[in-house]
Amino acid sequence: MSRYNAREVEAKWQSTWQNRNTFETKTDTSKPKYYVLEMFPYPSGNIHIGHVRNYTMGDVVARFKRARGFNVLHPMGWDAFGLPAENAARDKKVHPAEWTYANIANMRKELKSMGLSLDWSKELATCHPGYYGKQQKLFLDFLDKGLVYRKESWVNWDPVDMTVLANEQVIDGKGWRSGALVEKRKLNQWMFRISDYSEELLEGLQTLDRWPERVRLMQENWIGKSSGARVNFKISDRSDHLEIYTTRPDTLYGASFMAVAADHPLTQELAKSNTAIADFVAECHRMGTSEEAIEKAEKKGVDTGLFADHPFIEGKKLPIYVANFVLMEYGTGAIFGCPGHDQRDFDFATKYKLEISRVVAGPGGEEGPLETEPYIGPGKIINSDFLNDLEVEEAKKAAISKLEELGLGSETINYRLRDWGLSRQRYWGCPIPVVHCDKCGTVPEKAENLPIELPEDVTFDKPGNPLDHHPTWKQTKCPSCGADAVRETDTMDTFVDSSWYFARFCSPRADEAVSREDVDYWLPVDQYIGGIEHAILHLLYSRFFSRAMKVTGAVDFEEPFAGLFTQGMVTHETYKSQSGEWLFPQDVITNDAGEPVHIETGEKVIIGGVEKMSKSKKNVVDPAEIIDKFGADAARWFVLSDSPPDRDMEWTDAGATGAWRFKQRLYKFIHENLENAADLNADEPTEFSGEALALRRETHKTLASVTDSIEKLHFNTAIARIYEFMKTLSEFRSTGEDGAWALREAMEVMVSIVGPMMPHLAEELWELLGHTEILADSPWPTVIDELTVDDTVTIAVQVKGKLRGTIEVPKDEDKAKVEAMALAEENVKRFIGDATIRKVIVVPNRIVNIVI
RNA sequence: GCCCCUGUGGCGGAAUUGGUAGACGCGACAGAUUCAAAAUCUGUUGUCCUUAGGGCGUGCCUGUUCGAGUCAGGCCAGGGGCACCA
């Protein structure tokens, strides 16, 4: 027998699937659909092992559902806009488009070598005008419905690169690449009204019962709903009011000061004539936005000299401060300070020697002054006039009613979620299709002028936005009046691209952004698979987009992803040389003494922790090399085995070798034992005896269990059951017609259930078994339920809760008989001795517990 | 600080959801085959006691129960999310 040659066999089946267009899918309302989607990759140049894990999982689901009779959509595309292409352009003098398309070509080739059941006819790239032009149409539709607006807002501005930075690109208050001190600047930014959908996005989470609980929780926290009150404090000796937001109206009697944000209109008004305030505002703007900077920043403020009138206490005046810990973006940008019952207010009051009074009694009824720390917990209200003796929650309600009565405030729901700023001062992104006209203002581009394509002749040697530098691109005519006008040079955040690609996949070449007929059939995505790192932004933005597209009539659903699965990372041991340099795993070998040494120098290697694969630590393995060495099937098998899919898995060579061994073993087994099996389509014998029947039982039990495991995405347990079944098969010895038939049945089931995970090997064996139809087009085998239940069961017998023996009894045996058999068991008798039996618990088919 | 998740052999992990803890894989050990090795195959492998057999054992402590890895309460450790959010 020839050894299994993965390289040849895998190439053979990949071209068979391709030539037969096996995985091309059409909308067909007569069939049940199933949409499997893995998060599409950024075309960085090569696939990494995390992609292998992600796409293998999706592929198992896709192939499995296909075999189960579903019309499966399983597409692939490229999240192709983004900064790395511009960096490559600057550093390597290669155009972003050229760089990106070359990367796509290479990654496509690598993905194809994995044998994924993808419909490549639906491939799309977000950097292609055929995609981003439709995105511009969506943008115009959103604009028309008021879902997008332009607003001056504060951004992180890198003065060296002359660009806006996202929060995560600001490290310790400095630009991640330039290292320049980041400034807060006010810029005109395009914004999506996602915050209008806060409540809907929050409520929608309730319906997502096939999402991981923790992702829903993260989104819930991110949306950050809180309920409280808006209260108007009259500014003393002025006619206007200061509106604040609070979740603790019950502590109003503990108020000792007011604080407003540096960007609050009141502050800005005062800063014009008060240099102390103006200086402080400038200082706040310089303050870094990193977590660390915020953590360390002291609570500071400046007294404005103004006072506010307390809403409940006649004549009580509260000093108004500008404070660095009050954020303009949250609530109303102003607060009242209650130092007794809020940590920040306490810190602030301590620094500026403001009154700290207690209005909530402590858990033990303490009513004394708060000297070292505020009290945040529940309790009875004190020192608060009409609120006295109420519990915190009751007092909140009472305070709000009183405020409403006085016309000074009302109950309010507040959300942490802010609008999504989508403007980026970058070249390699989707141009925002609007025009700025001196006469008409900001005018949307005409739909027939779309796509507004990116110019090709751009330079990246100057800081700032290359689109803005382009000599002619932005010069245009106003779509409204026809006068000379300027194009918007901002491009869209790349999160926009990934917020609707799942819908475009249904009909990637349609004239409309999405074709209703197709999305109505395919969407929502039945199973979405990707990394937990997208738990908030990408998934929340996509959920918003679905709602927005529903408003424009493009789709008719709210939730884009009915099922979500977040897979774990792939980790690897780390290695360092004696001099402390990181080493690649392939440069580390084991010497004769069993020690890890460097392959070239022979120097002993220091083994470090198991960590997420990263280029900087060099603990990476290259999927292309793995596939070349072990074959795609073995790589797929290994990433699915051992670890539960939602947890991190460690890549080890031993594990990959193990997968390879199983592949060889199965191949060899079918080859060597096929002659003992019945012919394809041989008549089923009327009776099955001992061995043959036992094998059939195992076959159907395995089939049922593996089917269930795949359905639940528990690939590791499915594989464990297949290993057990392999063992059963190798031990099977039987002659006779029934044995031969049972063996064929077992082999067919084995090949079928291995199919979604090792598709090439399975096709090869399927063909060997004599089938003329390929496995990918063959149905999943059917479980015969009668064969999955045994006639007898092994029951554990406990004495006083400790296992003392087991008995074999017929299934569903009469309780009294089971009890008698249990009591007759030798070891059980020994443990009962002459003690009195107080009670016997019999759980049918499970356990007997004898209490003495 | 707030919220959440996870702790099971040397390792990755199973456990029908309260019913025989450690399936399956890796590693290790022993044996078969081989001139030898690789590959392959067969066994053993939680721990302690000398075996039949038994004691102990799912991070720690308490509890509920005939029975707890699983439920409850309190700790400890590791990981993740959010964070001057009023």
- SS3 per-residue string spanning A74-123: CCCEECCCCHHHHHHHHHHCCCHHHHHHHHHHHHHHHHHCCCCCCCHHHC
CA triplet A306, A312, A313: central angle to 5 degrees?
A: 65
The answer to whether residues A347 and A324 touch, using CB atoms and an 8 Å cutoff, is: no
Percent of chain A with pLDDT over 70: 97
CA of A430 to C1' of B1 (A): 41
CA of A594 to C1' of B28 (A): 14
H or E segment to which residue A335 belongs? strand A334-337
Mean pLDDT rounded to a whole number for chain A: 91
**In sequence order, what are the residues at sequence separation of 6 or more whose Cβ sits closer than 8 angstroms to the Cβ of residue A571?**
A610, A611, A612, A613, A619, A648, A649, A650, A651
CA of A590 to C1' of B24 (A): 27
CA of A829 to C1' of B71 (A): 32
Distances (CA, A) of A248 to A321, A398, A407, A707, A850: 19, 12, 18, 53, 59
> Does residue A89 carry a pLDDT above 60?
yes
> Does residue A747 carry a pLDDT above 90?
yes
The answer to whether residues A251 and A345 touch, using CB atoms and an 8 Å cutoff, is: no
The answer to whether residues A805 and A776 touch, using CB atoms and an 8 Å cutoff, is: no
Q: Any idea which nucleotide's C1' is nearest the CA of A222?
A: B82
- Using the C1' atom of nucleotide B4, identify the protein residue whose alpha carbon is closest: A214
> Does residue A294 carry a pLDDT above 60?
no
Task: Tell me A299's DSSP state.
Answer: P
Of A778, A770, A755, A759, nearest to A13 by C-alpha is: A759
How confident is residue A288, by pLDDT bands cut at 50, 70 and 90?
Answer: low
What is the pLDDT at residue A615? 79
CA of A592 to C1' of B38 (A): 15
Q: Any idea which nucleotide's C1' is nearest the CA of A843?
A: B19
CA of A655 to C1' of B50 (A): 39
What is the pLDDT at residue A290? 42
CA of A725 to C1' of B35 (A): 37
Q: Any idea which nucleotide's C1' is nearest the CA of A649?
A: B12
Q: Any idea which nucleotide's C1' is nearest the CA of A245?
A: B86
How confident is residue A173, by pLDDT bands cut at 50, 70 and 90?
Answer: low
A593, A595, A600, A603 alpha-carbon torsion, rounded to 10°: -110
How confident is residue A373, by pLDDT bands cut at 50, 70 and 90?
Answer: confident
Is residue A395 exposed (0-12), middle (13-18) or buried (19+ Cβ within 10 Å)? Answer: buried
The answer to whether residues A88 and A94 touch, using CB atoms and an 8 Å cutoff, is: yes
- The average pLDDT across A569-592 equals 81
- Using the C1' atom of nucleotide B14, identify the protein residue whose alpha carbon is closest: A717
Q: Any idea which nucleotide's C1' is nearest the CA of A797?
A: B20
- The average pLDDT across A522-551 equals 94
What is the pLDDT at residue A168? 61
What is the pLDDT at residue A117? 98
- Using the C1' atom of nucleotide B54, identify the protein residue whose alpha carbon is closest: A804
The answer to whether residues A661 and A761 touch, using CB atoms and an 8 Å cutoff, is: no
d(CA A190, CA A187): 10
CA of A799 to C1' of B66 (A): 9
d(CA A477, CA A483): 5
- Using the C1' atom of nucleotide B53, identify the protein residue whose alpha carbon is closest: A827
Q: Any idea which nucleotide's C1' is nearest the CA of A330?
A: B85
Q: How long, in residues, is chain A?
A: 852
Give per-residue pLDDT as tens, A381-432: 999 999 999 999 899 999 999 999 999 999 999 999 989 989 988 899 999 9
One-letter identity of residue A753:
I
Tokens in use for A349?
Answer: 């009051």
Q: What are phi and psi of A827, to 5 degrees?
A: -65, -35
> Which ipTM was obtained for this model?
0.94
- Using the C1' atom of nucleotide B27, identify the protein residue whose alpha carbon is closest: A654
> Does residue A592 carry a pLDDT above 90?
no
CA of A370 to C1' of B36 (A): 84
Tokens in use for A170?
Answer: 């600001």
Distances (CA, A) of A123 to A20, A76, A514: 18, 5, 15
CA of A77 to C1' of B80 (A): 30
Of A400, A411, A344, nearest to A373 by C-alpha is: A344
> Does residue A832 carry a pLDDT above 90?
no
What is the pLDDT at residue A291? 39
What is the pLDDT at residue A167? 66
Tokens in use for A812?
Answer: 């569903």
Give per-residue pLDDT as tens, A505-529: 999 999 999 999 999 999 999 999 9
What is the pLDDT at residue A388? 93
CB atoms within 10 A of CB A99: 20
Q: Any idea which nucleotide's C1' is nearest the CA of A800?
A: B66
CA of A594 to C1' of B44 (A): 23
CA triplet A680, A685, A691: central angle to 5 degrees?
A: 95
> Does residue A689 carry a pLDDT above 90?
no
The answer to whether residues A599 and A589 touch, using CB atoms and an 8 Å cutoff, is: yes
Tokens in use for A513?
Answer: 């952004």
Least confidently predicted of A11-15, A153-157, A344-348: A153-157
Alpha-helical runs (H) found in A145-236:
198-204, 213-223
CA of A772 to C1' of B78 (A): 54
Q: Any idea which nucleotide's C1' is nearest the CA of A532?
A: B80
- Using the C1' atom of nucleotide B5, identify the protein residue whose alpha carbon is closest: A214
CA of A844 to C1' of B68 (A): 20
- The average pLDDT across A54-72 equals 97
d(CA A703, CA A784): 9
Which nucleotides on chain B have any atom < 7 A from a protein Cβ? 3-5, 12-16, 19-21, 23-27, 39-42, 53-56, 66-68, 80-86
Predicted TM-score (pTM) of this structure: 0.93
Task: Report the Cα A453 to chain-centroid distance in Å.
Answer: 31
What is the pLDDT at residue A642? 84
DSSP string, A622-650: -HHHHHHHH-HHHHHHHHHSSS-TTS-EE
d(CA A14, CA A25): 17
Q: Any idea which nucleotide's C1' is nearest the CA of A659?
A: B25
d(CA A444, CA A139): 9
d(CA A128, CA A80): 8
CA of A542 to C1' of B18 (A): 41
How confident is residue A612, by pLDDT bands cut at 50, 70 and 90?
Answer: confident
CA of A642 to C1' of B60 (A): 29
Q: Any idea which nucleotide's C1' is nearest the CA of A662?
A: B25
Of A747, A774, A783, nearest to A66 by C-alpha is: A774
d(CA A632, CA A194): 42
> Does residue A45 carry a pLDDT above 80?
yes
d(CA A572, CA A615): 12
- The average pLDDT across A796-820 equals 89
- The average pLDDT across A292-303 equals 69
Q: Any idea which nucleotide's C1' is nearest the CA of A642?
A: B12
Q: Any idea which nucleotide's C1' is nearest the CA of A803?
A: B20
What is the pLDDT at residue A171? 63
> Does residue A806 carry a pLDDT above 60?
yes
What is the pLDDT at residue A1? 52
What is the pLDDT at residue A172? 63
CA of A833 to C1' of B39 (A): 55
How confident is residue A289, by pLDDT bands cut at 50, 70 and 90?
Answer: very low
> Does residue A292 carry a pLDDT above 50?
no
Most confident range (mean pLDDT) of A115-119, A284-288, A359-363 is: A115-119
CB atoms within 10 A of CB A533: 11
